[in-house]
């Protein structure tokens, strides 16, 4: 006969997690907790990574509140019991791999809803800052199995010990049965907890009939929110969050029943929320055959990229596998020296440093593609090989390359000048900035010849037997630079009658000068009357 069934937080007089053959040296996770916690070298689960299981610190009553444990599921998110949720102005502490206690402020809390639209007993928390990769604190994956496969799974049951100085401890449990718990169900209907998907574990107390495992444990008051985890490949993979406990009598045996919120049931809903920060929960799958899929990347880059002007690079990631979704996509791209770098795309989160861009996205379903647009303004011209590296939980790291040919523009060419306007003549040689740019001159050195080649900088007109020959210098990549060169003629210099006249290149034109310029000779028939010629240079970047 069942005697009582209550949420764990209501049993305030109870001492917390009970272990059949408790030994502080085996079952306490830390030494000198909470004043100066260090890893217990003899802890029974010391070979399992549990660094993502931390303890709560509230602004008040801190000695008591340190018993409450919460579990990181990403570098920024954690889970616990909704009915025993922390305050949004509190913080969580963790003992890192290198023995340092690191504390992170809580930013917000979010309910995970049941099918009725009410809060289940699973709460999702967000930290103000992410746990950095080198902090030595690893978030916990979740045990991913077909539902029938969870039954019989041995679990690490975590909790606390009170009264007096609190300790954080762990024992053993077994995933025995799945059910619903809380309001509107047959179990826990009067506890104040809304309908929640749970599993249960029954601890048999009568040692005459049930010897059990010496590490068997069960939860009591104050253990709400602490996790149950499976040891998978050296990591603690979360399975449940302690929700409620009760007792029952069967013949001469007393039973202690622990109910845990079944976390894998809520993974899709949790992922939908944490995808806004670019994360999904990570799957832990027992055995040698791990989930895998295939990712492909295509990189879309404009054929013309001008230094000093913004450009968009499209990185399209596709899940081309046939059965497995891809979770926790990671993309990095090396980029040329640039300013104004941004990344945008549905549920992509990106950041930039001197090496380039890093970005993440929660996941891609089978057959799904997602584009990340990287915007930047290259600072200097040149040929740059951009490497895009990509991976996911289910896909090993791979790379693709794209060659970015960044050509000089007038904007980048003139960026360091005291006056960058096209009509300025800084050196007073009668050649404007635009003309210096179009013909290969130096805007800060008075000269009428091109440095290096010695070519005459400005156009000139000659008379030859076939007519008039107009000679000028032209950039070989003029069209890419949005430069145009047009020879015009007029019978006078009034400025009203300039027009493009028929003509053609001479047989030896154009002549490459080998420095990004060519000499162009345009031939015009001998006019019947005197005419004036000029070269019109236009810039349309």
- Is residue 289 domain-resident? no
- Is residue 413 domain-resident? no
Q: Domain holding 464: CATH number?
A: 2.60.40.10
| Residue 139 CA: distances (Å) to CA of 84, 125, 381 | 21, 13, 43
**Residue 115, Cα to own-chain centre: how many angstroms?**
30
Residues 502, 353 share a domain: no
pLDDT in tens, the chain (541 residues): 234 455 544 333 456 899 999 999 999 999 999 889 999 999 999 999 999 999 999 877 655 567 789 999 999 999 999 999 999 999 999 999 999 999 999 999 999 999 999 999 999 999 999 999 999 999 999 999 999 999 999 999 999 987 667 799 999 999 999 999 999 999 998 889 999 999 999 998 865 666 789 999 999 888 999 999 999 999 999 999 999 998 887 666 788 999 999 999 999 999 999 999 999 999 999 999 999 999 999 999 999 999 999 999 999 999 999 999 999 999 999 999 999 999 999 999 999 999 999 999 999 999 999 999 999 999 999 999 999 999 999 999 999 999 999 999 999 999 999 999 999 999 999 999 999 999 999 999 999 899 889 999 999 999 887 788 999 999 999 999 999 999 999 988 877 888 887 788 888 899 999 999 999 999 988 776 778 899 999 999 8
- Is residue 287 domain-resident? no
Q: Which neighbouring-strand residues pair with 170? A: 158
- Is residue 282 domain-resident? no
Which of the listed residues 368, 384, 407 is the one where a domain comes to its end?
A: 407
Q: How far apart are alpha carbons 176 and 281 in whole angstroms?
A: 24
What sign has the CA pseudo-torsion 405, 409, 411, 416? positive
**In the chain, how many domains are there?**
3
Which of the listed residues 277, 309, 334 is the one where a domain comes to its end?
A: 277
Q: Domain holding 100: CATH number?
A: 2.40.10.120
Please say whether the beta carbons of 93 and 102 come within 8 A. Answer: yes
Task: Enter the tokens of residue 24.
Answer: 């502080």
Residues 227, 102 share a domain: yes
Please say whether the beta carbons of 56 and 111 come within 8 A. Answer: no
Residues 320, 271 share a domain: no
> How many other C-beta atoms lie within 10 A of the C-beta of residue 318?
17
Q: How far apart are alpha carbons 159 and 223 in whole angstroms?
A: 5
pLDDT for the residue 9: 41
Residues 460, 339 share a domain: no
Residues 170, 80 share a domain: yes
- Is residue 288 domain-resident? no
Q: How far apart are alpha carbons 123 and 112 in whole angstroms?
A: 6
Q: By C-alpha distance, which of 316, 315, 297, 307 is closest to 376? A: 307
- Is residue 290 domain-resident? no
Q: How far apart are alpha carbons 447 and 441 in whole angstroms?
A: 8
- Is residue 286 domain-resident? no
Average pLDDT, the chain: 92
Q: By C-alpha distance, which of 331, 351, 326 is closest to 341? A: 351
| Residue 206 CA: distances (Å) to CA of 27, 212, 454 | 22, 10, 104
Residues 358, 272 share a domain: no
Q: What angle do CA 236, 240, 244 make, to 5 degrees?
A: 140
Residues 207, 100 share a domain: yes
Model confidence pLDDT, tens digit, residues 149-159: 999 999 999 99
Residues 235, 308 share a domain: no
Residues 329, 356 share a domain: yes
| Cis peptide preceding 163, ω within 30 of 0 | yes
Which of the listed residues 277, 311, 340 is the one where a domain comes to its end?
A: 277
- Is residue 61 domain-resident? yes
3-state secondary structure of 267: helix
Residues 394, 267 share a domain: no
Residues 319, 358 share a domain: yes
In this structure, what DSSP letter does residue 499 have?
E
Identify the helix (H) or strand (E) that includes residue 64. Answer: helix 62-65
pLDDT for the residue 513: 95
Model confidence pLDDT, tens digit, residues 303-358: 999 999 999 999 999 999 999 999 999 999 999 999 999 999 999 999 999 999 99
Q: How far apart are alpha carbons 499 and 519 in whole angstroms?
A: 22
Give the domain range for residue 448: 419-539
pLDDT for the residue 254: 82
Find all residues with CB under 8 Å of 500, minimum gap 6, and list them. Answer: 486, 487, 488, 489
Q: How far apart are alpha carbons 21 and 173 in whole angstroms?
A: 13
Residues 250, 129 share a domain: yes
């Amino acid at each position: 006969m069942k005697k009582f069934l209550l949420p764990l937080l209501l049993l305030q007089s109870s001492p917390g997690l009970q272990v059949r053959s408790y030994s502080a040296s085996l079952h306490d996770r830390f030494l000198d907790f909470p004043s100066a916690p260090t890893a217990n070298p003899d802890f029974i689960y010391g070979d399992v990574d549990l660094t993502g299981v931390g303890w709560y610190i509230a602004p008040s009553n801190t000695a008591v509140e340190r018993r409450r444990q919460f579990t990181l599921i990403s570098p920024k998110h954690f889970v616990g019991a909704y009915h025993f949720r922390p305050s949004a102005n509190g913080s969580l502490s963790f003992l890192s791999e290198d023995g340092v206690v690191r504390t992170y402020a809580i930013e917000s809390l979010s309910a995970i809803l049941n099918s009725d639209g009410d809060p289940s007993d699973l709460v999702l928390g967000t930290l103000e800052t992410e746990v950095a990769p080198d902090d030595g604190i690893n978030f916990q994956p979740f045990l991913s199995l077909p539902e029938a496969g969870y039954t019989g799974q041995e679990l690490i049951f975590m909790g606390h010990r009170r009264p007096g100085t609190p300790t954080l401890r762990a024992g053993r449990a077994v995933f025995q049965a799945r059910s619903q718990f809380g309001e509107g169900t047959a179990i826990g209907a009067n506890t104040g907890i809304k309908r929640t998907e749970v599993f249960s574990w029954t601890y048999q107390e009568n040692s005459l009939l049930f010897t059990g495992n010496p590490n068997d444990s069960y939860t009591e008051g104050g253990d709400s929110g602490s996790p149950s985890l499976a040891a998978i490949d050296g990591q603690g993979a979360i399975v449940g969050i302690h929700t409620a406990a009760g007792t029952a009598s069967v013949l001469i045996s007393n039973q202690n029943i622990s109910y845990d919120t079944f976390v894998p049931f809520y993974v899709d809903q949790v992922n939908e929320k944490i995808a806004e920060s670019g994360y999904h929960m990570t799957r832990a799958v027992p055995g040698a055959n791990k989930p895998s899929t295939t990712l492909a990347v295509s990189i879309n880059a404009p054929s013309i990229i001008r230094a000093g002007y913004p450009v968009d690079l499209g990185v399209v990631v596709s899940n081309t596998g046939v059965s497995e979704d891809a979770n926790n996509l990671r993309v990095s791209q090396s980029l040329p020296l640039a300013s104004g770098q941004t990344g945008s795309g549905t549920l992509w989160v990106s950041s930039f440093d001197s090496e380039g861009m890093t970005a993440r996205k929660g996941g891609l379903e089978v057959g799904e593609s997602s584009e990340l647009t990287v915007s930047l303004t290259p600072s200097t011209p040149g040929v740059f090989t951009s490497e895009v590296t990509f991976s996911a939980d289910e896909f090993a790291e791979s790379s693709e390359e794209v060659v970015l040919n960044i050509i000089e523009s007038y904007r980048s060419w003139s960026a360091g000048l005291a006056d960058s306007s096209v009509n300025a003549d800084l050196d007073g040689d009668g050649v404007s900035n635009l003309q210096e740019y179009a013909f290969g001159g130096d805007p800060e050195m008075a000269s009428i010849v091109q440095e290096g080649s010695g070519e005459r900088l400005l156009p000139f007109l000659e008379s030859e037997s076939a007519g008039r020959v107009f000679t000028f210098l032209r950039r070989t990549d003029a069209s890419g630079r949005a430069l145009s060169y047009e020879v015009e003629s007029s019978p006078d210099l009034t400025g009203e009658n300039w027009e493009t006249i028929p003509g053609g290149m001479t047989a030896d034109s154009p002549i490459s000068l080998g420095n990004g310029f060519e000499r162009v000779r345009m031939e015009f028939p001998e006019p019947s009357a005197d005419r004036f010629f000029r070269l019109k240079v236009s810039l349309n970047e």
